[in-house]
Structure 1
Amino acid sequence: MMIERLSHSVLPLKIIATGAALPPHCVTSAALDQRLNKPAGYVEKRSGIVHRFHASNEASQAELAVAALNNALSLHHLSHNSIDLLISASAIAVQALPFSAAHILKLAGLPQGTAGFDINTSCISFISALQVAAGLLNTGVYRRIAIVSADIASRGIDWADEESALIFGDGAACAIVERGDGRSGILSYLMETYPEGSELCEIRAGGTRRNPRAGMSDSDFLFHMNGKQLFRQASALIESFLRRLLAAGRLTLAQVGTVVPHQASHLSLEHMRKRLHVTPDTLIDIYRYRGNQVAASIPSALHEAATTGRLSAGKPVMLIGTAAGLALGGMVLLP
């Protein structure tokens, strides 16, 4: 349904380019059957994934981010010199210090002195970054902002934990945004955090909590998830969250043209399809061929929507996801 008249103001924001990048190594679920000594078809049946991409142990997260940035710039014939701010919106940092945007800027070929900073709300970092970017663009401080999400989730896989080991893939995606002319923008944004679920999905090391002085083990650097409990908690919250997100934009679900969810798992996507009653064309699903790319999932799915003609002016797009924290994030925008 086209939105011709709005009963409230839109926070101006225009997505002028998107891009994505993948590591070169494609990992099929059939190959994981063999690696894990499982019968043929086991991994695909359990994970819902045909294949995903994993970076080598030596690969650079910053290089993957730059590849997505360059893809967005080249696809839309934009100059590196036109970017005046870079936001890294990833779940896992390159290192504790300095911030990941500095590592990306070092390789990106943007003008010397280009500003950069990180935003991390785990798997929904990209949604948070879009909201922050819109605020900055509307103050006039910046004119054109690149938001890049890059995660190498495979490096934190605990292969002994089957529940989480089978779902992750690596990748990066980018969106380049401007203020625009006011005809496109954010209709509503909502983020909520329920920290009682903070230990259901975590990597304990990498900060001050677990380190050589505070004490740590090798497993503290790996991904840990209580998937069943996390799914139950998120499922109990998501419907009311969705109602509040739509109400903030004075919209109904029927008015949303495209849904871009976090590609968390095949169960989460199926749950969303059933609860939202949306068609396959409406809901962007790249999970079978990417897996869960953590923070890169939502912008990768957004790039898929853009390149397959499912972003149309006047038709609201909803970005939505859950994340470690436990956090819920959503945004409805006019592209």
Structure 2
Amino acid sequence: MTEQLRLLGMGMAVPDKVMANEDFEKIVDTSDAWIRERTGIRERRFIGEGSLTELAAEASRKAIARAGIAPEEIGLVICATATPERAVPATACMLQKKLRIPAGTPAFDINAACTGFIYAMAAAQAMLPAIRGKYALLIGAEEVSKILDMADRGTCVLFGDGAGAAVAGVTGKPGTRVRIFADGDEEALSCGGYGGEDRHLRMDGRKVFRFAVSRLEGEIRALEEETGIPVSGIDYVICHQANARILDHVRRKFGLPEEKLYVNLDRYGNTSAASIPIALAEMAERRMLAPGKRAFAVGFGAGLTWGSCYLEF
């Protein structure tokens, strides 16, 4: 493999406010048993009185510290988010100031919904050599709670808030291979957002499920072919944490042991673009990503977007 991007340090941050399934029983016609059976989620976090930028900054500081670098060495900042704190300026620019990353450093946001972090990795891989930046700070940060319709039990119980970050650099060793795609579809998963008549998140659950299982399977097959490594030879598979039934389908399809398919959906719900970096940061904290470990990561989301990457540590 040619020289590629490599993740050097990861960090995560989630809000203090826990929303357990029982809390939704007071808001909408649902139950803990109903939610667990259909989604695998038992709790998630909502920002509440905090801010998305503060959460993203906390995750970023941890990633920078664990990479063993100084903020002055960062040459690129990309934040993947579909729920920015403000429309303007970009969350990445706000983080640049908070983290004291030098003026003149390119900083921008990407909205590829739940696939956003993988899109950020692809952008960094392409841009770092061109801008001669030594390291990139990549963040996935979401406050999905602010666009939820709390009367829609089919969506309000699925999502949570959080942030994950990684410092990436181009090294002389094989590292990351990234694949990103999109197929315009406004109906499956959307939010009216700025100026829209309906500013809440809406989802066609059955359509998203079919799309998710198809793309997850297809991307794992594609990574096997591109890397020459069968999934059986990979240490971990990290899928976007959307629904336990989707994850179970992938595990059964490829005959993966439970310890190989990383799952934290039960504790955080679907955190959109923060999902994969939060999982990576947790795994790093648990010393699961020791040197030599290899992983496939696959994401999918509104757009519809999807993507995958091969990671070496």
Using the size of structure 1 for normalisation, the TM-score is 0.86
Residue matched to 2:224 = 246
Higher Cα Rg, which structure: 1
Q: Distance in 1 between matches of 2:14 and 2:107?
A: 23
Q: Is the 8 A contact 1:262 1:297 kept in 2?
A: yes
Residue matched to 1:228 = 206
Aligned amino acid, residue 296 of structure 1: A
Residue matched to 1:193 = 182
Gaps of 5+ in 2: none
Q: 1:34 to 1:41 in 2, by over 3 A?
A: farther
1:268-283 correspondence runs (5 A): 268-283=246-261
Q: Distance in 1 between matches of 2:267 and 2:256?
A: 21
Q: Is the 8 A contact 2:223 2:296 kept in 1?
A: no
Residue matched to 1:100 = 91
Aligned amino acid, residue 67 of structure 1: E
Residue matched to 1:49 = 41
Q: 1:40 to 1:164 in 2, by over 3 A?
A: closer
* Residue from 301, 306, 311 that aligns with 1:328: 306
1:278-289 correspondence runs (5 A): 278-289=256-267
Q: Is the 8 A contact 1:258 1:310 kept in 2?
A: no
Q: Distance in 1 between matches of 2:190 and 2:30?
A: 27
Q: Distance in 2 between matches of 1:289 and 1:237?
A: 24
Deviation at 1:203, TM superposition (A): 0.8
Q: Distance in 1 between matches of 2:35 and 2:29?
A: 10
Gaps of 5+ in 1: 1-8
Residue matched to 1:23 = 15
Residue matched to 1:13 = 5
Q: Is the 8 A contact 1:263 1:293 kept in 2?
A: yes
Q: Is the 8 A contact 2:145 2:159 kept in 1?
A: yes
Q: Distance in 1 between matches of 2:93 and 2:31?
A: 45
Deviation at 1:88, TM superposition (A): 0.8
> 3-state DSSP class of the match of 2:267?
helix
Q: Is the 8 A contact 1:184 1:333 kept in 2?
A: no
Q: 1:125 to 1:35 in 2, by over 3 A?
A: same
Does 1:296 find its partner at 2:284? no
Q: 1:163 to 1:254 in 2, by over 3 A?
A: same
Q: Distance in 2 between matches of 1:17 and 1:300?
A: 12
Identity %, equivalent residues: 28
Q: Distance in 2 between matches of 1:43 and 1:235?
A: 20
Residue matched to 1:34 = 26
Q: Report the number of matched residues.
A: 313
Q: Distance in 2 between matches of 1:254 and 1:40?
A: 35
Q: Is the 8 A contact 2:3 2:173 kept in 1?
A: no
Q: 1:95 to 1:15 in 2, by over 3 A?
A: same
Q: 1:20 to 1:39 in 2, by over 3 A?
A: closer
Q: 1:262 to 1:253 in 2, by over 3 A?
A: same
Does 1:203 find its partner at 2:191? yes
Q: Distance in 2 between matches of 1:77 and 1:272?
A: 35
Residue matched to 2:159 = 168
Aligned amino acid, residue 245 of structure 2: L
